[in-house]
Amino acid sequence: MREFAHTLFWFRRDLRLADNAGLYHALERSQRVSCIFIFDRAILDALPDKRHRRVEFIRESIAEIERLLRRHGASLTVLHGRPAEDIPAFAKRQKADAVFANRDYEPDAVRRDRAVGAALAGLGIEFATFKDQVIFEQDEVLTQNGKPFSVFTPYKNAWLRRLSVENLQGHPSDKRLERLAPMPASEIPSLESIGFESTNLKSLGIVAGPAGASKLFHDFLERIEHYHETRNFPAVKGPSYLSVHLRFGTISIRTLARAAWERGGYGAQTWLNELIWRDFYFMILHHHPRVVSEAFRPEFNNLEFLQDEARFNAWCEARTGYPLVDAAMRQLNNTGYMHNRLRMVTASFLVKDLHIDWRWGERYFARQLNDFDLAANNGGWQWAASTGCDAQPYFRIFNPVTQSENFDPDGKFIRKYMPELTPCSNKFIHAPWLMGAAEQQRTGVIIGRDYPAPIVDHAQARRVTIERYATAAGRLR
């Protein structure tokens, strides 16, 4: 294996020092390692909101990394620019003979890395990338015929069969930090200097960086054994809330999967299953990058959707008249998080009740979610829209009222985000339009004045959807 005199380690979706595969290999194979992060203009300039929680989360996370590096006499160089130009230029200035990074599977990132690699090769500088974001990547889990899976359960079984202690072993990158190149402390650019403003991230109690991830993880380990019972109820503290940390790599996937695997028990196994879904969607994106713009199932590329901005805006702005859908959209808009059950319900509602293109919803989630991840978001939307691999069958359509009764039976979640519905009794909180005039007077919640009437009739919208999908699938005679 080639050794290097000076390697540049480029942080991207792996904002931590502990168990960082690329950083570990850089430290192992180089006499000196310098670290860099680039606020990528191509990504940031495309963000429509200048108050963006993800940007603040990144900034806080790299500030923590810089503090940790400083303890070792090193530092993090932070640029605001274009990686394809800045990485080769910086590597050349620093006289680095290699640049190491962890692999990113999104099509734009793959293109970016190809450009960076080519520019570095032109300078005689090696570019090496490593698996870090997932347990199994690309072609590591295939069918017996050597093809990528398109159904989750056999993928999961093959994934579990392939799993061994080595796959979950951490890379002790934080034990080799003495090889970091000595550097004076560097200044982390302020949000303002890169064109952004601070958000409500801190007041939401979201702590970025490895310290925030570790705190959440230890909190979750206390309740992991109940995960399978609690995870579907949005008013209950059931899931881990680690998604934003997985998104930015402030905690290692190996640490999480190992903890779940070692613990065993139904709760931990159910949670491990969710981590396998994550690998599954990364694998799908890798093998089928066309899903970024197309249905995974080509027959559903013919579906016609309504180009109805008013309906779409009502959904975005929590004005559909269906309390669980509206409460979920307020959770998303106010906090950047939405509970998994509600992502399924709101996505289904947009596509199958409002007949709007799943890509519109996918884009809106991408803009709002703190944990936005192309692979999981696209996978989730195509699942809910029944256009994806192993998706919800098109005739199985969530009833937003039944979902509300089953998963928020006391209306606790609804009341948290829709205080205007607080006076409604538990009988009517899931479908307030069923209140008679006297009940509306008594509660002071007048439908059409204090809360909208339902934007569509679910039963009718459902019938139309089944016909549209059946036609597209060629199943109508």
Ligand X SMILES: Cc1cc2nc3c(=O)[nH]c(=O)nc-3n(C[C@H](O)[C@H](O)[C@H](O)COP(=O)(O)OP(=O)(O)OC[C@H]3O[C@@H](n4cnc5c(N)ncnc54)[C@H](O)[C@@H]3O)c2cc1C
From 142, 132, 203, select the one nearest 171 (Cα to Cα): 132
| Cα distance between residue 475 and residue 477, in whole Å | 6
Nearer to ligand X among residue 77 and residue 333 (C-beta) = 333
Nearer to ligand X among residue 59 and residue 231 (C-beta) = 231
Which residue's CB comes closest to ligand X?
A: 380
Nearer to ligand X among residue 356 and residue 429 (C-beta) = 356
- Token code pair at residue 186: 């560097």
Nearer to ligand X among residue 43 and residue 89 (C-beta) = 43
> How near is the Cβ of 358 to ligand X at its closest, in Å?
9
> How near is the Cβ of 184 to ligand X at its closest, in Å?
37
Nearer to ligand X among residue 372 and residue 433 (C-beta) = 372
> How near is the Cβ of 187 to ligand X at its closest, in Å?
31
> How near is the Cβ of 365 to ligand X at its closest, in Å?
6
66 Cβ contact partners less than 8 Å away, ≥ 6 residues apart:
75, 76, 78, 185, 186, 188
Three-state secondary-structure class, residue 4: strand
Q: In the 8-state DSSP scheme, what is residue 373?
A: -
| Interface residues toward ligand X, by CB under 6 A | 231, 239-243, 246-247, 274-275, 277-278, 281, 340, 343-344, 347, 365, 369, 371-373, 376-377, 379-381, 384
DSSP 7-54: EEEEESS---STT-HHHHHHHHHEEEEEEEEEEEHHHHTT-S-SB-HH
Burial per residue of 28-50, b for 16 or more beta-carbon CB atoms within 10 angstroms, e otherwise: bbbebbbbbbbbbbeebeeeeee
| Cα distance between residue 234 and residue 338, in whole Å | 9
> How near is the Cβ of 315 to ligand X at its closest, in Å?
13
Nearer to ligand X among residue 11 and residue 280 (C-beta) = 280
Q: In what order do the strands lie in the sheet with 76-81?
A: 76-81, 30-40, 4-11, 98-102, 126-130
Whether residue 53 contacts residue 199, with contact meaning beta carbons closer than 8 Å, is answered with yes
> How near is the Cβ of 467 to ligand X at its closest, in Å?
23
Nearer to ligand X among residue 156 and residue 247 (C-beta) = 247
> How near is the Cβ of 227 to ligand X at its closest, in Å?
7
